[in-house]
Chain A
Amino acid sequence: MYLQECYKIFSKKSIYLVFITIVLLLVYINQLPTDMTMRELVFEELEGTWGGPVTEEKVELARESMHASDTGEISNHTFESKATDYVQFLIVGAAMQKQDQNERLTILEAEMNDFDESTYKHRKASMERDMLQELDDAHGFYLIRSWREMFEFIEPVTHVLLLSILIFLGLSPVFAEEYTHRTTDLILATKHGKTKLVTAKILAALSYIVIIFLSLQIINSFLNLLKFGGIAGWDAPIQGISSGLDSLSRLSYDGSPYNFEVWQFFLLTMGLQLLSCIVIAALVLLLSFLTKNTMITFFISSIIIAIPALLQQLGITDGFLGYLTDFSFLKLMQVSSLFTQFQAYNVFGYPVLYPSLLFTLFALVTGLLIMLIYRLFRNQQVSH
C-alpha cells in the first residue's frame, strides 16, 4: 500500500520537470562569477596571520594596514591586497561585534540587578547573558569555505519558494486526486481504506519530502563544494559567518548568541528545515483532503505561506499580526534566519528561545493536523 502511494506521488512528471528546473537554477546561480571566494590560496596564507579569535594586536594591526591602504601607502590593486583588505575588514568587524557583545553583557548585568529574580525580565536577561558568556572568544576571522551557501538554496526567500513549490506540487494531489479520480467509494469500503491508507499516504508524503529535500541539499552542497573548494571552517564558530563579499546570502551570524560550530549548525539547520518541510506537508495534506481539489490546495497553501511575507513587505508587524508573522509557516521554513540574534518569548513567566518555541508550537500543530486528517478521513461520508 505504501509503495503504491509512493508510486502515485512519484509518477507525476511535473515533479521531475520542476526539480530539474530548480537544479538548473542552482547550477546557473552557482556558476555566476564572483569577485572573490575563499577558495583562493591567498586566504590560507591570510588565515595563518589573521585566523582565529580576534585580539587587540590583530585589530590594531588591521586598522593600521587599512589606514595605509586608504591613504595609498599600500597598493590595493592586486588580488592579494584586495583579499588582505577584506580579511582586515572582517577582523575589525569581529572586534566591533565583540565590543557590542561586551556592552550587551554589561546592560544585561544591569537589568538583572534592576529586576527581581522571579521576574520574567530578570530571567530573560540571565538567559541571554549565559548564552553570550558561553560564546567566549567566538569572534574572529575563520577560513570558512562553502558552508555559508549550504544553509539554504541561494538565499532565504528563494529557499522557501523552491521547497514550497516542490512540496505543493507533490502533495496537493495526495487526497484530492482520490476525489477527482472518484476512487473514494472503492477505497472506503475496504478493510484498511479508512485508517491504514491514511498512514500509507502520510508515510509516502514523508518519503517524498525526505527524498526531494536531501536530493536538493546534496546537489546544492556539491555545487558549493566545487565552487568554494572544500569544507574548511567546519569547526569554526558560526560567528565567523558574516555577510561577506563572496556570498549571495545576506545572513550574518556574527551577532548570534548561539554557541555552535559550523558543522553542528549545518546539521541542526538541515534537521530543522526537514522538520519544517514535514510541517508544511501536514498542512498541504489536510488541505488536499478538505478542498478535494489539487489546484485549490496549491492555491490556498501558497497564500498561507505568502501572507506573512506580504505583511512584512507592507510593514505590518505590530501586535497580533506581528505574532502571526513570527509564528508562521514562512518563518518556520527560514530556519537559518532564526539563529542570527537573541529572541525569546514569555511563556508563563519564563523565557523560551524563539526557535525552540516556534518548533514546539509547530510540532503540536503538526500533531493536530495529522490527527484531524485521520479523524476526518475515517468519518467521511460518501454522498455525492
Chain B
Amino acid sequence: MLKLTIENISKTFKDKQAVTGFSAELSEGVYALLGPNGAGKTTLMRMLADILNPSSGRILLDGNDISIMGNRYRDILGYLPQEFGLYRNFTAIRFLSYFARLKGLNKQETTTRVDEVLELVNLQKDRKRKLKTYSGGMKRRLGIAQALLNDPKLLIVDEPTAGLDPQERVRFRNLLSEIAGDRIVLLSTHIVSDIEYIAKEVLLMRQGTLIQRSTSEQLLDNVKDKVWKCTVEQNALSQLQKRYKVGNIQRAETGIEVRIVSDQQPLADAVNVTPTLEDVYLYFFNEEVTDDVQTGML
C-alpha cells in the first residue's frame, strides 16, 4: 500500500514563512486540502510535486526521500498546478503527446493514453484544435488530462475545478472518485462541494500550518449545534455581520434569510440547522465563503 509521509516540512521565502512544520501521512484515497488564500496550500503542493525544495523537513514515499528518488518519484506523479499555461500553437493531441513523452511513455503507450485521457476530460472533438482557440474551462480540462497521462499513483491537483462549468465539475468529481481506489489523490480547493462526498479526509490549513485533519463527518461534528438560520430585516444585516460569522444570505418574502455559525444562539428566532462543509470553512477560517464556493454549490 502506497504511503506518502510529510515529515515536519517548512518553507521560508526571504522573510515570509509560507509553510511551518507540516506533518501528515497519506495512504490511498482522496485527501482535500482546505484553507483560505495565503494559507500555504500551493507552496505545500509544489513541494509535494518536487518542484520546490522544503527549507526543512522531508517528504517520503514508502520510506524513500523524494529528493533522492528524483525521476523515479516523478514517474508516478501527476500534477496539476493552480496556474499554468499551454503552447498556443499546439493542438491538444500534440500537447498531450509531448507531455506523454516527458512522462516517459513510449510511442505506442502515448497514442493509446492520449486517446483515453481526451475521452476522460471530454475533449475528443476538439483534439485537433489549436490551444489558442480553447476556452478557460477547456484549458483546465486539458491540464487535468496531462496530469492523468501516466496513470499516476500520486495525483496532486491544485484548484482543479476553478473555471469549470457545473457539469464539468461533477464530471471531474466523479472521475476523481473512480480513480482514487488504488492511489493517493491530494486536491486543494476553495470549492467545498468538490470534496464533500469524495474526500477520505480533509486537511485544514491556515497560515502555513495544519490546523486540523479529520473526515468530513468529524469536521461536521465540530460545528454541530453551531449553525443557525434566521430571517432578519435588511437594516439588521450589517449589525449581524459585525457580530457573527455570517454565511449564506438569501432574499426571502419575509426578509433576508441568513445562515450564521455561532457557539450561542444569535437571535431568539434563530433555529439550529444541519451543518455543511461550508459552515465548517466559515467556522475555522472566519471568512465569508468566496464566490467560487457559492458557485460551487451544486
CB contact between A189 and one of B43, B49, B89 (< 8 Å): that residue: B49
Q: Size of chain A's interface in residues, with CB distance under 8 A? A: 26
Interface membership of A11, Cβ < 8 A: yes
Task: Judge if B50 is at the interface, Cβ distance under 8 Å.
Answer: yes
Q: How many A-B residue pairs have CB under 8 A?
A: 82
Q: Is A381 an interface residue (CB 8 A)?
A: yes
Q: Is the CB of B71 within 8 A of A194?
A: yes
Taking A4-B94, A382-B46, A383-B46 as contacts, is the C-beta distance between A190 and B85 under 8 angstroms?
no
Q: Which residues of the partner chain B approach A196 to less than 8 Å between Cβ atoms?
A: 102
A186 near B81 with CB under 8 A, answer yes
Q: Given the complex of chains A and B, what is the CA–CA distance between A197 and B77 in angstroms?
A: 17
Tell me, yes or no, whether B24 is within 8 Å of chain A by CB. no
Please name all residues of chain A whose beta carbon is closer than 8 Å to the beta carbon of B88 when the two chains form the complex: 181
A383→B102 contact, CB < 8 A = no
B161 interface hit (Cβ, 8 Å):
no
Main secondary structure, interface of A, reads: loop
Question: In which size bucket is the chain B interface?
Answer: 20 to 34
Residues of B within 8 A of A381 (CB): 51-53
Answer whether A186 and B89 are a contact pair too, CB < 8 Å, given A4-B94, A191-B71: no
The interface bits of chain A over 196-233 (1 if a CB of B lies within 8 angstroms of the residue's CB, else 0) are 11000000000000000000000000000000000000
Answer whether residue A68 sits at the interface, using C-beta atoms and an 8 A cutoff: no
Shortest Cβ distance from A103 into chain B, in angstroms?
Answer: 63
Measured in the bound complex, the distance between the Cα atoms of B79 and A331 in whole Å is: 47
B173 an interface residue at 8 Å Cβ cutoff? no
How many Å from the CB of B42 to the closest CB on chain A? 10
A191 touching B75, Cβ below 8 Å: yes
CB distance from A294 to the nearest CB of B (A): 14
- Quick check: is B128 within 8 A (CB to CB) of the other chain? no
B221-248 with Cβ < 8 A to chain A: none
Interface code A276-309, partner B: CB below 8 Å = 1, 0 otherwise? Answer: 0000000000000000000000000000000000
Flag if A192 contacts B71 (CB, 8 Å). yes
Asked whether, in the complex, the Cβ of B79 is within 8 Å of the Cβ of A186, the reply is: yes
Chain A nearest Cβ from B92, distance in angstroms: 13
The 3 A-B pairs with the shortest beta carbon distances in the complex, nearest first, are: A182-B85, A189-B79, A185-B81
Given A185-B81, A185-B84: 4 more A-B contacts, CB < 8 Å: A186-B84, A192-B102, A194-B74, A382-B52
- Residues of B participating in the A interface, judged by any CB pair closer than 8 Å: 13, 43, 46, 49-53, 70-71, 74-75, 77, 79, 81, 83-90, 94, 97-99, 101-104, 143, 146, 150
